[in-house]
């Protein structure tokens, strides 16, 4: 039985760990060739080797600092040179840090926008000509419930992730006629960053879990990856501009996100 992404190619930023890793593995399991692009080249190379050995797909690693436009442009060009086409762009790389709103400096806000918003904008802009010319493209951007629900003490993250959702919807409107879809996944999974938050605030973790209807935290490969596969596939051709909450239902009533910060 043919895998549903055979012949497709994907670029996943931050694909060496956490949610990005789960997505990259799910795409590879369905036959997609994958470029893992992230700041840490060694981790990217380890993950690319895992994809090759486990799923028998073409997989390569690329070092990139997504906060530098020239490096993002070069990353997309490298994926096109490696694979000859680019079908799926997953903008997963991101960063957050807890701090009270009034303690955020201009530099803090600018840094959040660079890593969570501008990096995706640059990658989408660079990928567009190839996706337009081939008549097929899937843009999958990773949003966050932090922004949707305005969680406390992560204003830079919240604002930049909500800007990313607006960017995604606008791309869906402007690019739909070219066979390009653009959607957002707001995931809840035990990434290294989430685990660090929960380890530091076990009471918060227990309170959040109590508000998740399915009764458990998500797993990147098992829970987030299959949704990304759907969005990358032909099956999602008539679905664009959407935000998919892959969070066990935690978004319905919100969760008590309150990391410890200095007053």
Q: Which residues are catalytic?
A: 157
Helix ranges (H only) for 116-154 are 119-134, 145-148
CA distances from 72 to 78, 118, 205, 237 (A): 10, 10, 35, 26
User: Nearest-CA neighbor of 5 among 185, 230, 180, 221?
Assistant: 230
Separation CA 230–CA 107 (nearest Å): 37
Rg (CA), the chain: 18
Strands, E, within 9-161: which ranges? 9-13, 33-38, 59-63, 88-91, 137-142
The residue with tokens 């990658």 is 123
Q: 249-263 burial string, b = 16+ CB within 10 Å, else e?
A: ebbeeebebebeeee
The residue with tokens 């993002």 is 72
User: Cα(first)–Cα(last) distance of the chain, in Å?
Assistant: 58
* Count of other CB atoms within 10 angstroms of residue 92: 27
Measured in whole angstroms, the distance separating CA 91 from the mean position of its chain's CA atoms is: 4
Separation CA 222–CA 95 (nearest Å): 23
């Amino acid at each position: 039985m043919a895998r549903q992404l055979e012949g497709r190619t994907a670029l996943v930023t931050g694909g060496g760990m956490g949610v990005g890793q789960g997505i990259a593995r799910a795409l590879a399991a369905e036959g997609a060739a994958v470029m893992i692009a992230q700041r840490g080249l060694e981790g990217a190379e380890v993950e690319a080797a895992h994809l090759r050995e486990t799923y028998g797909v073409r997989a390569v690693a690329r070092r990139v600092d997504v906060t530098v436009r020239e490096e993002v442009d070069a990353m997309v060009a490298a994926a096109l040179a490696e694979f000859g086409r680019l079908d799926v762009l997953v903008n997963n790389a991101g960063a957050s840090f807890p701090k009270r709103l009034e303690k955020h400096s201009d530099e803090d806000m600018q840094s959040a926008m660079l890593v969570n918003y501008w990096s995706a904008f640059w990658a989408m802009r660079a990928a567009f000509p190839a996706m337009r010319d081939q008549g097929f493209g899937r843009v999958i951007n990773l949003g966050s419930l932090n922004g949707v629900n305005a969680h406390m003490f992560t204003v830079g993250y919240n604002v930049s992730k909500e800007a990313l959702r607006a960017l995604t919807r606008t791309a869906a409107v402007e690019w739909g006629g070219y066979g390009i879809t653009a959607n957002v996944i707001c995931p809840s999974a035990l990434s290294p960053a989430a685990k660090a938050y929960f380890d530091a605030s076990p009471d918060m973790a227990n309170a959040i879990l109590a508000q998740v209807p399915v009764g458990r935290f998500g797993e990147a490969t098992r829970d987030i990856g299959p949704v990304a596969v759907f969005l990358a596939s032909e099956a999602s051709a008539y679905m664009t501009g959407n935000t998919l909450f892959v969070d066990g239902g935690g978004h319905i009533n919100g969760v008590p996100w309150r990391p410890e910060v200095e007053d």
